[in-house]
Structure 1
């Protein structure tokens, strides 16, 4: 039946979204946009004061969590389901870049932390939340990958490996849970104006070199990534699953000319 609101499919009214790493950058933009789209939020961040403050601002639920801790994730999933009445949308956004170094030279503890936060956190949390979504017959999982998972890098190799794995995780989850009405997708951002990008964008020489490889000749905004997340979370993306959507201004398709 036709509706007077052509953007209704992008609304999240009556749905609860669990977002990890929501207190800054892309995660913050996603939390704000989802709240504006009508979602009730459950926020999980290692920064307790920031998480509590954001939840108060957005009228959500704060569950401060170190997502690199398996037991903490167990508690998060249990509390999120119990306090919210059920998670409809799961956004695994929390991540760390780790130290810049060749893959063989990274400290073992740094490597283990990187994999725990970037890869094991989405694997564990989707494994805890997806069955509940399936029991309710619907749900959307959004994983934050990166273009670092689509091409090689000389100093963030392990980071790229974790992000490449998230694209495959989205495909596997889509196949496993699709028959129960649960969708899973990933987003691969390029250079986005966040704290992570400051090292590049604060240097005119590095910024010119990096942006010269991007057809749009600019960095993206967290809000542009958040808009893609909203599409994937909402009914607007209802027939999209198992995909990795690249939001990078064309960087990975360019030859730099």
Structure 2
């Protein structure tokens, strides 16, 4: 891995040149935008999500732009598929330098007290267990390589920082992601592995269509945000590049809120 810290000139470039970044939930939305941003910053990317066709489309786009992209279908709730993901990434690209945990689900929209057991189990499996399982596999990979540095970026949400009416289980898992990020940062810091989180506000994606396409729900977010609008996926992606890069070599345990000011209101 590249060494961390400033260049001899004192200038730090936000670059991912010579790095391999693995991104989950990369077939669309924020994950696909992060993949584009990482490739633009010089990285080779491993794209993961449950379904291969969407990954292939993103990979084709990135390759057409001159990038290197390896699409691998993987259910992050299944440890055996995660092991295969890292094995293939290592075999084809040599290593994984940074991990971006972005895959998420939100199958239930309604009062927390009425949450069906199946929706609870599914949300925890993907949003929480999946993130930890990916982090565990990534750290095993680093240890096998005797790597002296690494980066994990977990995508949380402002729903994990404030009350999340009608999205209670989703918000609970995202609050747990923030806690997991801080604990992993504390425990892995001596190994040179940085762990940070990104907490987006409302972003225009298919995942958030229930909110974005409902005028009253969208207004709830927009009217509280000083910038007066919701975000586009590309506005979240740059944070993943920064946190995965050596420019963020002294940043760990941090949750970067990107919400147009929503949480300060």
Alpha-carbon shift at residue 191 of structure 1 (Å): 0.7
Alpha-carbon shift at residue 219 of structure 1 (Å): 0.7
1:155 counterpart SS class: coil
| Counterpart selection for 1:197 from 196, 199, 208 | 208
TM-score by structure 2 length? 0.89
| Counterpart selection for 1:118 from 124, 127, 132 | 127
1:135-193 deviation per Cα after TM superposition (whole angstroms, max 9, x unaligned): 21111100000000001122111111110111111111111211111100000000111
| Counterpart selection for 1:29 from 29, 33, 47 | 33
Match of 2:74 in 1: 65
CA distance in 2, matches of 1:170, 1:16: 21
Contact 2:76 2:133 in 1 (8 A): no
150-159 vs 69-78, which moves further: 69-78
Match of 2:21 in 1: 17
| Counterpart selection for 1:40 from 44, 47, 52 | 44
CA distance in 1, matches of 2:86, 2:115: 31
TM-score by structure 1 length? 0.92
After superposition, the CA RMSD in angstroms is 1.6
Gaps (5+ residues) in structure 2?
A: 1-7, 63-67
CA distance in 2, matches of 1:105, 1:144: 26
Alpha-carbon shift at residue 115 of structure 1 (Å): 0.7
56-65 vs 140-149, which moves further: 56-65
Matched, 1:97 2:93: no
Match of 1:49 in 2: 53
Rate the CA distance shift 1:189–1:70 in 2: closer, same or farther, 3 A.
Answer: same
Gaps (5+ residues) in structure 1?
A: none
CA distance in 2, matches of 1:111, 1:148: 16
CA distance in 2, matches of 1:39, 1:28: 14
Rate the CA distance shift 1:179–1:230 in 2: closer, same or farther, 3 A.
Answer: same
2:73 counterpart SS class: coil
Matched, 1:244 2:255: yes
Alpha-carbon shift at residue 46 of structure 1 (Å): 1.1
